Amino acid sequence: MASSTARGEQKPSIIQMSDKRSEISQLGEFGLIDHISEKFSPKNTNSVKGIGDDAAVISAGDDCILISTDMLVEGIHFDLAYTPIQHLGYKAVAVNVSDIAAMNGVAEQITVSIALSNRFSIEAVDALYAGINSACENYKVDLVGGDTTSSVSGLIISITALGRAKKENITYRSGAKVNDIICVTGDLGAAFMGLQVLEREKQVYISDPNMQPNIEKYEYLVGRQLRPEARTDIVFDLREAGVQPSSMIDISDGLASELFHIAKNSGVGIRIYDDKIPIDNVAFETAVEFNLDPLTCALNGGEDYELLFTIS
Ligand code: ADP
Ligand code: MG
């Protein structure tokens, strides 16, 4: 549509989609993000870091504001057959706070946007927000806004976290140097094994609803999947120890994928040692029980929300 602005009459701009059809699967998630982002460049000098890290960095005086968004979609990121909805609320906050921690910053505010179908009751919404509230208490963040709309098929939660850090303390994916050592803050693969257990118990329940789920032995794994914690403690520990990581990222997609981001953004190669990768005993045994390679689960499982960082 033609519009008149303060700068005068503007010509109508029509963006014509071509007849060509290219599959998104050719690009994959990261390729698609690159494809989107290459058409944009920052226009404001305070946009210090845009697309491409765990959070955007906006300069604001001595400090920088950090901004990160994550969306959880029913059927893709969670299954309400085995996910208590209050845990889902908690997790949706934790995964965003984790991205702020990955920049070596402290989260302060969140906005929460939800799309709901008529399958959801007020009680369900209350339970979701009880989880959100519990995470707000735990991570000391304030819910300051959001959006509410309807959906035809299930629940979508999108949370944006705002955080703060001193410019000199911010850790980017791009800062790793040759001869740095790479560290991870906890064990890997347990959240993925928790998901395998929950999926198995769901199938058992579908085939016989009288069967009681047997998850006691797997409590740690299921907890890692359903109610992960953001490692905000590490940001304070690093500060207290006077350690400034050269690069940092949180592990949402899996160790291998996050190492690749650090390597690519820093222009370095990374060597890891399989016997040094931390795997919880129950996660290891459960992987074997499921005929899976424990190392593959630790490398590619994802959703551990541990921090991965390099230090000189
Ligand atoms: P993370 O796993 O840490 O949440 P993502 O892989 O989701 O990070 O995103 C990587 C980067 O791409 C981030 O800077 C994010 O803000 C950006 N990004 C993701 N999707 C889009 C999009 N649709 N448009 C613009 N930027 C995006
Ligand atoms: Mg991240």
Q: Which atom of ligand 1 is nearest to the CA of 55?
A: 14
Residue nearest to atom 22 of ligand 1 (CA): 33
In this prediction, residue 252 carries a pLDDT of 97
Angle at 137 between CA 155 and CA 186, to 5 degrees: 80
pLDDT of the residue at 3: 45
- Candidates 166, 104, 91, 95; CA nearest to 134 is 91
What percentage of the chain reaches a pLDDT higher than 70? 95
The preferred substitution site among 24, 30, 33 for testing ligand 1, maximizing ligand atoms within 8 Å of CB, is 33
**Residue 8 in this model has a pLDDT that exceeds 80:** no
Q: Rounded distance, CA 297 to CA 271, Å?
A: 18
Decide if 221 contacts 194 (C-beta within 8 A).
yes
Query: For position 2, what pLDDT does the model report?
Result: 43
Ligand 1 touching residue 303 (CB < 6 A): no
For 59, the token pair is 């300069």
**Per-position DSSP letters for the chain, written without gaps between them:** ---EETTEE------PPPS----GGGTHHHHHHHHHHTT----STTEEE-TTSSSEEEEETTEEEEEEEEEEEBTTTB-TTT--HHHHHHHHHHHHHHHHHTTT-EEEEEEEEEEE-TT--HHHHHHHHHHHHHHHHHHT-EEEEEEEEE-SSS-EEEEEEEEEEEGGG---TT---TT-EEEESS--SHHHHHHHHHHHHHHHHHH-TTSPP--GGGHHHHHHHHS----HHHHHHHHHHT---SEEEE-SS-HHHHHHHHHHHHT------GGGS---HHHHHHHHHTT--HHHHHHH------EEEEE-
**257 — pLDDT class (breaks 50, 70, 90):** very high
More confident residue, 229 or 9: 229
Strand 63-73: give its sheet, edge to edge.
Answer: 47-49, 56-60, 63-73, 156-166, 106-116, 142-150
| Residue 71 CB less than 6 A away from ligand 1 | no
Ligand nearest to the Cα of 55, by number: 1
Q: Which atom of ligand 1 is nearest to the CA of 95?
A: 4
Q: Is 258 in the pocket of ligand 1 (CB under 6 A)?
A: no
Shortest-distance Cα residue to atom 20 of ligand 1: 33
Q: Given the CA of residue 56, which atom of ligand 1 is nearest to it?
A: 14
What confidence category does residue 10 fall into, taking pLDDT thresholds of 50, 70 and 90?
Answer: low
Provide mean pLDDT across the span 116-138: 97
Residue 11 has pLDDT above 70, yes or no: no
pLDDT digit string, tens, across residues 19-32 = 889 999 999 998 99
User: Which atom from ligand 1 is nearest to the alpha carbon of 99?
Assistant: 3
Please give the Cα distance from 31 to 37 (Å, whole number): 10
- Compute, in angstroms, the gap from residue 115 CA to the centroid of ligand 2: 23
Residue 13 pLDDT > 70, yes or no?
Answer: no
CB of 99 within 6 A of ligand 1: the answer is yes
The count of C-alpha atoms lying within 13 angstroms of the C-alpha of 129, restricted to the half-sphere facing its C-beta, is 16
The model's pTM is 0.93
Query: What's the pLDDT at 139?
Result: 98
pLDDT at 1: 43
Q: How far is the CA of 224 from the centre of ligand 2 (A)?
A: 17
Cα angle: 206, vertex 211, 216; to 5 degrees: 110
C-alpha 33 to ligand 1 mean position (Å): 7
Nearest CA, atom 26, ligand 1: 51
Give the model's pLDDT for residue 12.
62
Ligand 2 centroid distance, CA of 283 (Å):
23
Q: At what angle do helices 190-207 and 281-289 cross, to 10 degrees?
A: 50
33 Cβ inside 6 Å of ligand 1: yes
Q: Write down the mean pLDDT value for the chain.
A: 94
Residue 17: pLDDT over 90:
no
User: Which ligand 1 atom sits closest to the C-alpha of 69?
Assistant: 16
Q: What is the mean pLDDT of residues 11-21?
A: 72
Closest ligand to 101 CA?
Answer: 2
Stretch 219-233: mean pLDDT, rounded? 98
Atom of ligand 1 nearest to the CA of 40: 25
Q: What is the average pLDDT across 240-266?
A: 97
